[in-house]
Structure 1
């Protein structure tokens, strides 16, 4: 960690030092938003669930334009707009007593989700490069989990459905934490440039009309996009929906076990991420994804065994083991895919490249719960676990296919990447 911190430029240290603070605010509210909408504001549970899905839907719609705007006006400006939208959404939601007000608040929060991914990743890529970039994405992921995890614990201890003001305060707290990155963007990071220089106007103009089409004509971009979609479909798309449904309905474990399983997931990520980063340094990123696919396949098989002894101690152990093994796979995935995406891009299309990858993630996160719900609702637990295992196998196949089309520098081959960096023109 000392070596990593010492290698970071000043802007990178500023950017990384506030990640946990900002995500602490999301942790305060994320686990309790549905409870707040239903039990505190009295909205129908179906309507509350619809509002939660609206965040992802709005984010998916906004991601494409946000990527183009990032390339045109810079990540800093797009992030400022997204953060302002987040603050407005949280403040509105804190006092939302009418469904229309709650809907508007959720839309504003969704706008931030759609803009933050491509702009934030473009900003990171502008600050760090090469092997340091891969390490940065991994450390950033660990800090995000740490902030959300601590925020969730604090929120759980603080909120009370019999005292609506406690929920109002956590949403206002979420809004306040957004002021920290705003201060950074207006202060120490105000000079960071993420978009093409003035002499690239012709490329930018062409990019506004055909940028996404041109990007998707690149074979490596298409393969990493497909791999991301399938990985999220069998990963995050199940972790917040299919996994808890299987744990409760098939393995028949208590809600306390499910809650503890999520805590184990966060702890494993925070504790293992630095070790994993040291182990994967210098290795082909596609091979790291291949290992991740095998680890996730193993985690789903472990969860499947928990359903063979429902309601037992063995079932509880299987559920807890699943989240721990799954978390190990996450520590392999999160430093790798963003590094590939940003090494394939340049300043003219970095925002759009991250937007395409964000769209793949969001698409997998939307499709995953739908498929899980259909299979588990019809009692097809075995088919569900089998599909997840096959999906992990598909991720491994896609990683090998991507390796044949991925430039060596983007695949983390040290010698080639260093040569590519040394050949870059100096920054003016």
Structure 2
């Protein structure tokens, strides 16, 4: 394998992975393919098929994030105590049960039950998945893994969305039942891997002798250098980013830009194409650069993208507005390729190995909080036609994100920031015994 990160290829990246990490990467595609079938259409399903009002449907979807926010601290503790592998099994199982219930839900109480299980997965599943990644790979390979994993997530969701859009029909409720059941089955695949090829990979680190008996609370972790900044970055990131993708962007594009739902669908397709096409290129370009500076660049790109979306109001209902909406999503996606390989890497490099579960729980909690606040703020501002103020708020959020990233740079070591000795390429031989294996698990 070449030692030059700028000459990195997919084959050299694959060769650098230990066998368990390869299995874990493969599982990503299958589980998110199922999510892609249902994620873009859940609100449509609840509203047009099950007859719930849009307000109720939106509130029920937000309920899953609220439940996750409440359970995330518990999930972080359990990840450190039980191991990430067990928490991935629990999260995947909960997601499978949740979407299976949703497939047959005809009333609000049943949907609430489904969202409770989905919230369990949101609380612990993905954070534990990041901890499992960090237990298997290190150095630049870890950063590459986070980036490639993110591209695969988008590819799976994009493909699932295309297939789901072709297959489902609101006049045939059984088509929705089918895609939710397929989603439930897809979530069983990572469970099978955890019980099979990955059964010896627990993703748990032993507590150092000097730390044994020391009680660690989330409040004490938040007081550690850099952690408050990471929490703020996650909160702002979710509020101005993914939280708005499910609420603010579609509403703005329909009500202000006045584009069709087809254009909105194509915009999400453009997002997926940009991420899948350029993620590997971006990984090569950002290697050895300060991760915090990469976050600043991403914030600038996102600010430009939101300004472009805001400008569509001057061309409402025209082809120009539609083209600008597509450009918005292309720019937004390019920013995503910068953030995803950096923020998880900073979090897991900053965290002591035996506390990674709780560090990732804090990161996940900040995301959940931002995801809850985003639709509430977007709904209020756009309902009261505060369109310019809405865009201004998001641009200000981008500026705040850049400021917090610079503050973080002063509080973390160069190694954690991706420019120290740990930035050297790491090759983990597939034939060597893994430190994370524990035959007793």
Same-fold status (TM-score > 0.5): yes
Aligned residue among 209, 217, 226 for 1:220: 226
Q: Is 1:87 the counterpart of 2:96 in the alignment?
A: yes
Q: Is 1:245 the counterpart of 2:265 in the alignment?
A: no
2: CA distance, partners of 1:4 / 1:240: 33
Measured after TM superposition, the shift of residue 45 of structure 1 is 3.4
Aligned residue among 253, 262, 283 for 1:256: 262
Q: Which moved more, 1:325-334 or 1:255-264?
A: 255-264
The 3 A distance-change label for structure 1 pair 213 and 329 is: same
The TM-score with structure 2 as length reference comes to 0.91
For the Cα contact (< 8 Å) 1:72–1:195, is it kept in 2?
A: yes
Q: Which moved more, 1:161-170 or 1:43-52?
A: 43-52
For the Cα contact (< 8 Å) 1:408–1:417, is it kept in 2?
A: no
Q: 1:9-24 alignment to 2 at 5 Å? A: 9-24=18-33
Measured after TM superposition, the shift of residue 33 of structure 1 is 1.7
Q: Deviations over 1:201-260 (max 9, x none)?
A: 8846544xx331221111211111112211222111222211121111111112111111
Aligned residue among 83, 97, 107 for 2:106: 97
2: CA distance, partners of 1:259 / 1:112: 26
Partner residue in 2 for 1:177: 186
1: CA distance, partners of 2:241 / 2:48: 30
For the Cα contact (< 8 Å) 2:140–2:425, is it kept in 1?
A: no
Structure 2 runs not aligned, ≥5 long? 1-9, 428-433, 437-441
1: CA distance, partners of 2:217 / 2:212: 8
For the Cα contact (< 8 Å) 2:86–2:202, is it kept in 1?
A: no
Measured after TM superposition, the shift of residue 87 of structure 1 is 1.9
1: CA distance, partners of 2:303 / 2:361: 28
Aligned residue among 53, 56, 61 for 1:52: 61
1: CA distance, partners of 2:201 / 2:31: 20
For the Cα contact (< 8 Å) 1:304–1:385, is it kept in 2?
A: yes
2: CA distance, partners of 1:419 / 1:239: 35
Partner residue in 2 for 1:154: 163
Measured after TM superposition, the shift of residue 418 of structure 1 is 5.1
Partner residue in 2 for 1:140: 149
Partner residue in 1 for 2:47: 38
Aligned residue among 60, 74, 77 for 1:65: 74
1: CA distance, partners of 2:89 / 2:212: 22
For the Cα contact (< 8 Å) 2:36–2:157, is it kept in 1?
A: yes
Partner residue in 1 for 2:315: 309
1: CA distance, partners of 2:290 / 2:38: 38
1: CA distance, partners of 2:399 / 2:108: 43
Q: 1:332-343 alignment to 2 at 5 Å? A: 332-343=338-349
Q: Secondary structure at the match of 1:289?
A: helix
Q: Deviations over 1:359-385 (max 9, x none)?
A: 111111121222222222222222222
Q: 1:283-294 alignment to 2 at 5 Å? A: 283-294=289-300
The 3 A distance-change label for structure 1 pair 419 and 153 is: closer
Q: Secondary structure at the match of 2:217?
A: helix
1: CA distance, partners of 2:233 / 2:107: 41
Partner residue in 2 for 1:349: 355
The 3 A distance-change label for structure 1 pair 117 and 322 is: same
Aligned residue among 343, 358, 363 for 2:364: 358
Q: Deviations over 1:168-206 (max 9, x none)?
A: 111110111112101110111111132233x65884654
Partner residue in 1 for 2:327: 321
Aligned residue among 178, 193, 210 for 2:202: 193
Q: Secondary structure at the match of 2:354?
A: coil
1: CA distance, partners of 2:236 / 2:123: 20
Q: Is 1:278 the counterpart of 2:284 in the alignment?
A: yes
Q: CA RMSD in A?
A: 2.0
Measured after TM superposition, the shift of residue 339 of structure 1 is 0.2
Measured after TM superposition, the shift of residue 44 of structure 1 is 3.6
1 or 2, which has the higher helix percentage? 1
2: CA distance, partners of 1:324 / 1:123: 31
Measured after TM superposition, the shift of residue 390 of structure 1 is 1.6
Measured after TM superposition, the shift of residue 323 of structure 1 is 0.4
The 3 A distance-change label for structure 1 pair 167 and 427 is: closer
For the Cα contact (< 8 Å) 1:203–1:348, is it kept in 2?
A: no
**Number of positions where the alignment pairs a residue of Structure 1 with one of Structure 2:** 421
1: CA distance, partners of 2:171 / 2:268: 26
Q: Deviations over 1:55-89 (max 9, x none)?
A: 11111111110010000000111111122212222
For the Cα contact (< 8 Å) 2:236–2:397, is it kept in 1?
A: yes
